[in-house]
Structure 1
Amino acid sequence: MKANYKFSNICGTVYQQGNILFTPDGNTLLSPVGNRVSVFDLVNNKSRTLPVENRKNIAAIALSPDGNVLVSVDEDGRALLVNFKRGVVLHHFNFQKPVQDIQFSHDGKFIAVTHGSHVQVWRTPNHLVREFAPFVLHRTYTGHHADVSSIRWSPDSSKISCFITTSRDMTARLFTLDPLEGFRPKTFAGHKDAVVGAYFSANGKFIYTVSRDGAVFTWTAKEEPDDAEQLASSSFAHSIPQIRWGVHDRHYFNLPHTKVVCTTFHPSSNLLVVGFSSGVFGLWELPSFTNIHTLSISQEKISSVAISPTGEWLAFGARRLGQLLVWEWQSESYILKQQGHYFDMNTLAYAPDGQTIATGGDDGKLKVWSVQNGFCFVTFSEHTAPIMGITFAKHGSVLFSASLDGTVRAFDLVRYRNFRTFTSPSPAQFSSIAVDPSGEVVAAGSTDTFEVFMWSVQTGKLLDILAGHEAPVSTLAFSPTGANQLASGSWDRTIRIWSVFGRSRAVEPLTLSSDVLSIAFRPDGMELGASTLDGQITFFDVRSGKQSNVIDGRKDVSGGRKADDRVAAANSSSTKAFTSLAYTADGSCVLAGGNSKYVCLYDVREGEGVLVKKFQISENLSLDGTQEFLDSRKVNDAGINIDLIDDRGNASDLEDRMDTSLPGASRGAGDMSVRKHRQEARTKCVRFSPTGRAWAAASTEGLLIYSLDDTVMFDPFDLTIDLTPQAVLNILAEGEYLKALVLAFRLNEKPIIQQVYERIPRSDIRLVARQMPNVYIPALLRFTSEHLEKSPHLEFDLIWVQTVITAHGRFLRDRSGEHAPVLRAAQKALGDVEGSISRLCDENTSTLQYLIDQSVVKHGLDDDTSSNASDD
């Protein structure tokens, strides 16, 4: 059993806070998710999350013009300089103050950063050279009287580099990068509210400023008789600092009770995009201020907006809803529309094929996510209360969910509808669910009646009520072997194993030392594991009903001290229990997670119970419970942690200052004892993939997926100093195709592999595939599947797939568990090709039928015309 699982992706969250931005080619969108950055490929419809983490939630990100260097800055001003293409941290740096905006210059040589009421410009570190002190301060710019909120650089065509800044002091200021003789920073005043954004036009003739109250000012050259000749002889674009700017036009959005939250500008097309606090965005053409488009896309305010380099796509992020949208304004269609759970994610389940994951949350939503691309492709909103448990039927096309609204629902994943709803005779809240291996019986445990209800999936009728527990039923599990055994765990410190189709209802309970939180059957059905409130994992032999092993996991799972804890992390009882258990596919290991930042993997073969590895789900200090020790510097004179003081009264937006507490309760900075809620780092549910190659955790930060890194085929024992890309190409030119292909896979460079692969003659494919060493067969089949999805050489790829499976099918079958992802990739590629060819044939058939019909009609008309002529 391999244990080198590594963080792979975050699926359940698409946007939290900060700014979103497009890559220079416009095909990819970057979005901050907690203290990580997610990357959405809009062309190939895939998403991934960079493996680097900031100390706290990210407040601002910036990407260099060449797309090589990414800077992410957290809430405290601590920055990471990341090689974007490889996802590797190059440098750490502390800007000492919270950063509102960070921007690269057009040539990528400088980085401008807000620093309170000042602006700092730093020289961009060289990402190819390791330096001791890579960040070198160029200059600090002063002049604003309040915090600077945004920075924009002058156009590329400007010979004198300058930038314009906006601030809460209701002004914008123009600075030059280097000192200029006779130049003083110019101030753009006249707004009656904080200036949100200021932008240069493409030719440098205009400057546009936008304020929170909905005013847009257009600034242009204020010509005077004395300097008219000077202005006429110089280009506007090259003399932005020398221009004497004045207000040319004043425009207003005139939307009552609405504030401007975020803006962006596309200079080449003169498009201004504005996001409002009402969830509406607008598109205006400047300087004429013509409204092109207005649309309501969210129920909450739009937090961030970005426009692609070509000006075709608009991206929006809504912080409160966790929404991320990409809108093509010309065709008025969505390119991307994703939203995570509004509240915490409670439970998850893997589909039997391992390609999809379903999640249920406190918001009553049931979402189904694709593991391949990380996107949610269907959301069910039928439940009206938190969803506490979900599970798939064995064939994978039916999904069951149990909720506190008193219903158990069955969803059809082919037609995407709720086709069955199960209820109890008297109202009851359901907290657990299980489906038998045949998929014909569904069971749910109740929290208030302490009973287990069983229904028929086909008829929807209640089959039986299992009574005997004396406390809420917290967990259920059917035996996976089809032995008609149902295990139920309860807070009454017992586990009962029911023979659901037997005549006798006499059940001898298995007694434990504490409340049962979770149970799981081993895949062979011979062993049952149970986690209890005292932090132990107890194992029972199902046949004899005797205890076979105990793991004391209190020390393993404990970790992380909350900001208001009086006791140390080692003595805290709130984090010392596993709330979720999952066996691996081979039954050799158990994965356990709970109300802490750790997920533990235990080896349970032969009753050992050895801790194999501990995974820390997050290092985000913005979450409660990620620190082992509290910082005494954050405790004020009243003995209260300053992170817990409610500072909403200092917020700038009216809706953020509104008191949502009970009448008569004090709030804000007036009462320093008022607490605020911080999310805790915890794991609600863990599940293994059916193949065992990955596992997922429903956590505070979203749906975390950890997988084995099986994409690299690197064998240093087979490498020699002579093995280079040029050597591979030379061997290929000599016609030694098998040797060239093997060497290309040893190098593991995709361009080289593709070049060798496509140069192999069609007549030699069968010979090369048969003689390919077994160690490279999975890599060859995976590469062929990927090539089949993207390449127009359909017959060529199909011959490769057929030959590899025919020649090495026995090898792949004997190791089906290890190579299941490769086989599924090949199956998916073949299915997509089949669907494409089928659609193409249908379209061609319809077109030919249409042409035949038109020909018949035409000949009929010609015959009628000729007959009429003969009659005349």
Structure 2
Amino acid sequence: MKSDFQFSNLLGTVYRQGNLQFTEDGTKLLSPVGNRVSVFDLINNKSYTLNYEHRKDIVRIALNKQGTLLLSIDEDGRAILVNFVARTVLHHFNFKDKVQDLKFSPCGKYFGIACSRFIQIWKTPDFSEDRQFAPFVRHRIYSGHYADVISISWSNDSRFFISTSKDMTSKLFSINSEESDVAMTLSGHRDYVINAFFNQTQEIIYTLSKDGALFKWEYTEKPGAESEDEESDSENEDEEPKQKTKPMSWRITGKNFLYADGKVKCSVFHPQSNLLVIGLSNGEFRIYELPDFTLVQQLSMGQNSINTVNINKTGEWLSFGSSKLGQLLVYEWQSESYILRQQGHFDSINHICYSPDGSRIVTGSDDGKIKVWDNRSGFCLMTFDQHKSSITGLQYSKRGQVLFSSSLDGTVRAFDLIRYRNFRTFTATERIQFNCLAVDPSGEIVCAGSQDKFDIFVWSVQTGQLLDSLAGHEGPISCLSFGVENSILASSSWDNTIRIWNIFNRTQTVEPIEVHSDVLSLSMRPDSKELAISTLDGHITIFDVEKAEQIHLIDGKRDIIGGRYLQDRFESKNSARSKFFTTIDYSFDGNFLIAGGNNNSICLYDIETEVLLKKFKVSQNMKLDGTLEKLNSSQLKDGGSIELIDRDGENSDLEDRLDFSLPGTSKGDASLRSVRPSVKVNSIKFNPTISAFAAGSTEGLLVYSVDNEILFDPFELDIDITPKTIIETLEEKDYLKALIMSFRLNEIKLINTIYESIPLKDINLICKDLPVVYLEKFLKFIGEKSIDSVHLEFNLIWIKNLLISHGQYIMKNKHTFNHSIKLINRFLSKLAKDIVKVSKTNDSFTDFLQVAVGNKSVEEPEFDGFHEDEDEDEDEDQDEDEESEGEWLGPSLKTNNDNFTESDVEMEE
């Protein structure tokens, strides 16, 4: 197994705070998630997270019109410039103040930021210019406001921009110094001016205030102003006087008011279609058509305020974000349908588990919700909310059709993942809280443990009845784990013992294993021959299950990155806090172990050598406790850290000053808690395909994977094997030799070229003559390629012939082909679901085609010129059509449809 894992995606969280940004083509949506940026591809139904991190949570993002440069700014004003196409960081910069707004000009040459009472205009870095010492060059600073600037809006020609402020005014500025006389103040509102917009012709300006007042401004003559006389020669009476001009200015020509229960929180204007979208503090959003201020639609997202709204270039899709709920919506207002509707967990993730084929990740949280995430697309497929308290355990059945969960509400539930419903609920004889869960590999038995009683409860999945309670522990049960191949159950308790149970014989197979510290996590190797535990003293101990003997010991205290908390007056290296692992998991081959805990590190160990292979840092977000490593004495005063001081009372808005949270709470409303969250990993799991692992952390669900396409990893490479010689062998039509040579060079693109060049008639012969040493690599290649490939039948023919030719060898060496067979199984199950779905959704269409073809004539009437009796000819043609109707075209289509339906039924079975 390769150990070069890298961060690939962030799931479980879709929006935190800040603004949303559409790309220029309107097909992708950028969302700030904590100190990272996630990108949602709305057309291809995929999402990914950019690899870079900020020091604190991101508050503003902006993408230039060309879609090449992404600029993101965090709470401290630190900016990162990113090449959006290559996803690489270009430059770091510090604006040294909190940024309220960030906008690129439509031409892309400038970007403006709102810092405190000022507007700063900067030149966008350009690769065509000569090398500069500083990529960011400031063009000018604009002032004039007496309070913080809220927003910036550019004109279409990038010559002017409008700024709005908390001083209830808007100001118009020009980029060019020659047009400095254009500057003007637009006043008249009685509350904060949230936003201001130019219309398409730039002859009208709209300003919107927090109280819902919309003012329309036009550049007209000042009423009642005296005409200014041009200089004239008074001595010459015969000379005609010159024309007199009246002074011009921006003035209000219309007022409209939004009558709603909530205040205006955000707004966006689409000049091409004159659509104004307004988000309110009560969760409602409205769509108006200007200049008549006609209400087009009025909908509600919920009871919490909408923090940001945006519209794509075509004006069809609207995006909304609510930070309190962590909710992200993309709404198509014309069809009144949702393009995207995602919401993360309300609290931190407690437990995660992979599906047997690795295509799904299930997360459980303190909010009592269970979410099923698609590993490839990154979207949430389903949410179960039947539990009423925190989720403490999750596990799939062996076939992946049933999901089991345990909760502190005293129930263990079974969910059908085909029909997405809860079909079993398991309870004990008395109400207790379950804190751990284990499922038998056969899927017939489910076990759960509790801290309230010292017994292990065993239920039957088919009947839902409590079969037995395993007694023996003298303290609360902390962990349970089954193996994959047999029904051996391992349990740990606060009595510092580990017990091995034969679940069907209801006996203990060996004597209890004594440990010298509290067991925090337990994991059984897939073959059920070894058992790993992590203890409070920072050790990971591996035992032989059959002999109950210790065989390996890993000391992880020195490998853990502790981190400082704000109350600490010492560095992280002198801290003894969280120097242990709370969650561990075996890889599928049983050779590696991944571990995480209440700290900022994830450690990957090789079990045989007891060596640390790689260490990952969970987060660099300074908003979390435990990420600082050095002591920053400038933040420490006599009363403690400056950041611990509650400054909510200094906010200008009343709703920001009010605090309804309980003091000292760390659960509940994540946006109102008064205790800083700490960085930690609550659950960690390996992907069954061994190509990735996932960690449920404070920041969300972090996914780390191996990128196989970038690495050069040859297999039995020879000096004569080069891409040129492989292509020459392919041109000579020696397909088997070319295929073997490409696998020895092990370049994905070259293997794909050879694979798709082999004719169908030669596939059977090549599969029979393929050496078994390349069989596992070939099956793995087909399994990875077929997921995204459009050649469905071609891939199925290869799989069929390989299994026919080498099926017996694969059965004898299951352990070698586990990874590749799981990939093949994932492709086949996905294909079967797609075929069944297409057949079910197109029943009416196939019936229509049968009727349409049946009514159509088989033989077209010949044209013999015009006849005198045209009506008789038409009647004869119609009679011929009726006689030939449905003779052979209709039945053939019906027969094909019948075969298609039978195959669908077989596929469903």
Q: TM-score, normalised by structure 1?
A: 0.86
Instruction: State the alpha-carbon separation in 2 of the partners of residues 730 and 220 from structure 1.
Output: 73
2:351 paired with 1:347: yes
| Matched residue, 2:334 | 330
1:279/1:181 Cα in 2 relative to 1: closer, same or farther (>3 Å)? closer
1:840/1:275 Cα in 2 relative to 1: closer, same or farther (>3 Å)? closer
Name the amino acid aligned to 2:650: N
Pick one of 267, 287, 290 that aligns with 1:286. 290
* Cα drift, residue 442 of structure 1: 0.7
SS at match of 1:554: coil
Instruction: State the alpha-carbon separation in 1 of the partners of residues 287 and 742 from structure 2.
Output: 54
Instruction: State the alpha-carbon separation in 1 of the partners of residues 564 and 458 from structure 2.
Output: 41
Name the amino acid aligned to 1:58: I
Instruction: State the alpha-carbon separation in 2 of the partners of residues 51 and 523 from structure 1.
Output: 32
Name the amino acid aligned to 1:399: L
Give the 5 Å matches for 1:581-600.
Answer: 581-600=584-603
Work out whether residues 693 and 708 of structure 1, in 8 Å CA contact, stay in contact via their aligned partners in 2.
yes
* Cα drift, residue 294 of structure 1: 0.8
1:500/1:306 Cα in 2 relative to 1: closer, same or farther (>3 Å)? same
Q: Give structure 1 stretches of 5+ with no counterpart.
A: 230-241, 666-673, 867-872
| Matched residue, 1:640 | 640
| Matched residue, 2:494 | 491
Give the 5 Å matches for 1:667-746.
Answer: 676-712=674-710, 714=712
Name the amino acid aligned to 1:696: A
Instruction: State the alpha-carbon separation in 1 of the partners of residues 746 and 500 from structure 2.
Output: 54
| Matched residue, 1:363 | 367
Deviations 1:241-262 (A, max 9, x none): x962111111111113x11111
Name the amino acid aligned to 2:467: L
2:403 paired with 1:399: yes
Work out whether residues 713 and 745 of structure 1, in 8 Å CA contact, stay in contact via their aligned partners in 2.
no
1:719/1:336 Cα in 2 relative to 1: closer, same or farther (>3 Å)? farther
Name the amino acid aligned to 2:494: W
2:468 paired with 1:472: no
Deviations 1:179-234 (A, max 9, x none): 125615211111111111111111112111111111111111223599999xxxxx
* Cα drift, residue 32 of structure 1: 0.5
Deviations 1:302-332 (A, max 9, x none): 1111111111111111101110111111111
Name the amino acid aligned to 1:620: N
Deviates further, 800-809 or 99-108: 800-809
Instruction: State the alpha-carbon separation in 2 of the partners of residues 270 and 739 from structure 1.
Output: 64
Deviations 1:105-153 (A, max 9, x none): 1111111111211111111113578754111111111111111111111
1:350/1:251 Cα in 2 relative to 1: closer, same or farther (>3 Å)? same
* Cα drift, residue 272 of structure 1: 0.8
| Matched residue, 2:304 | 300
Work out whether residues 346 and 698 of structure 1, in 8 Å CA contact, stay in contact via their aligned partners in 2.
yes
Instruction: State the alpha-carbon separation in 1 of the partners of residues 313 and 826 from structure 2.
Output: 34
Instruction: State the alpha-carbon separation in 2 of the partners of residues 182 and 600 from structure 1.
Output: 60
Instruction: State the alpha-carbon separation in 1 of the partners of residues 399 and 97 from structure 2.
Output: 54
| Matched residue, 2:459 | 455
Work out whether residues 712 and 748 of structure 1, in 8 Å CA contact, stay in contact via their aligned partners in 2.
no
2:179 paired with 1:178: no
| Matched residue, 1:244 | 249
Instruction: State the alpha-carbon separation in 2 of the partners of residues 252 and 690 from structure 1.
Output: 58
Deviations 1:511-569 (A, max 9, x none): 21221111111122111111111211122221122222222212222421111124542
Work out whether residues 558 and 575 of structure 1, in 8 Å CA contact, stay in contact via their aligned partners in 2.
no
Deviations 1:591-634 (A, max 9, x none): 111000101111111xx321111111111112111111231111
| Matched residue, 1:93 | 93
Name the amino acid aligned to 2:701: L
| Matched residue, 2:868 | none
Deviates further, 219-228 or 620-629: 219-228
1:840/1:473 Cα in 2 relative to 1: closer, same or farther (>3 Å)? closer
| Matched residue, 2:555 | 552
Instruction: State the alpha-carbon separation in 1 of the partners of residues 549 and 698 from structure 2.
Output: 36
1:801/1:836 Cα in 2 relative to 1: closer, same or farther (>3 Å)? farther
Query: Aligned-pair RMSD on alpha carbons?
Result: 3.9
| Matched residue, 2:201 | 203
Instruction: State the alpha-carbon separation in 2 of the partners of residues 831 and 135 from structure 1.
Output: 54
Instruction: State the alpha-carbon separation in 2 of the partners of residues 308 and 317 from structure 1.
Output: 15
Work out whether residues 785 and 829 of structure 1, in 8 Å CA contact, stay in contact via their aligned partners in 2.
no
Instruction: State the alpha-carbon separation in 2 of the partners of residues 470 and 794 from structure 1.
Output: 57
Q: TM-score, normalised by structure 2?
A: 0.83
2:622 paired with 1:624: no
* Cα drift, residue 373 of structure 1: 0.5
Work out whether residues 452 and 476 of structure 2, in 8 Å CA contact, stay in contact via their aligned partners in 1.
yes
Pick one of 154, 159, 176 that aligns with 1:161. 159
Instruction: State the alpha-carbon separation in 1 of the partners of residues 522 and 649 from structure 2.
Output: 46
SS at match of 1:288: coil
SS at match of 1:354: coil
2:436 paired with 1:432: yes
1:706/1:343 Cα in 2 relative to 1: closer, same or farther (>3 Å)? same
* Cα drift, residue 507 of structure 1: 7.3
Work out whether residues 264 and 305 of structure 1, in 8 Å CA contact, stay in contact via their aligned partners in 2.
yes
Instruction: State the alpha-carbon separation in 1 of the partners of residues 204 and 535 from structure 2.
Output: 68
1:49/1:504 Cα in 2 relative to 1: closer, same or farther (>3 Å)? closer
Pick one of 423, 428, 441 that aligns with 2:427. 423
SS at match of 1:834: helix
1:846/1:578 Cα in 2 relative to 1: closer, same or farther (>3 Å)? same
1:396/1:384 Cα in 2 relative to 1: closer, same or farther (>3 Å)? same
SS at match of 1:838: helix
Q: Give structure 2 stretches of 5+ with no counterpart.
A: 229-246, 665-671, 858-874, 883-909
* Cα drift, residue 654 of structure 1: 3.3
2:545 paired with 1:537: no
Work out whether residues 786 and 792 of structure 2, in 8 Å CA contact, stay in contact via their aligned partners in 1.
no
1:149/1:816 Cα in 2 relative to 1: closer, same or farther (>3 Å)? farther
Deviations 1:276-305 (A, max 9, x none): 111111111111101101111133111111
Count of aligned residue pairs for this structure pair? 824
| Matched residue, 1:234 | none
Q: Identity of aligned pairs, percent?
A: 49
1:344/1:188 Cα in 2 relative to 1: closer, same or farther (>3 Å)? same
1:421/1:826 Cα in 2 relative to 1: closer, same or farther (>3 Å)? closer
Name the amino acid aligned to 2:220: K
Work out whether residues 71 and 81 of structure 1, in 8 Å CA contact, stay in contact via their aligned partners in 2.
yes
Pick one of 256, 260, 263 that aligns with 1:255. 260
* Cα drift, residue 491 of structure 1: 2.2
Work out whether residues 514 and 534 of structure 1, in 8 Å CA contact, stay in contact via their aligned partners in 2.
yes
2:651 paired with 1:651: yes
1:654/1:549 Cα in 2 relative to 1: closer, same or farther (>3 Å)? same
1:132/1:805 Cα in 2 relative to 1: closer, same or farther (>3 Å)? farther
1:176/1:44 Cα in 2 relative to 1: closer, same or farther (>3 Å)? same
Deviations 1:815-861 (A, max 9, x none): 634546753564366436634663576345322455589899xx9xx
* Cα drift, residue 759 of structure 1: 9.1
1:642/1:700 Cα in 2 relative to 1: closer, same or farther (>3 Å)? same
Deviates further, 95-104 or 753-762: 753-762
* Cα drift, residue 650 of structure 1: 2.5
| Matched residue, 1:869 | none
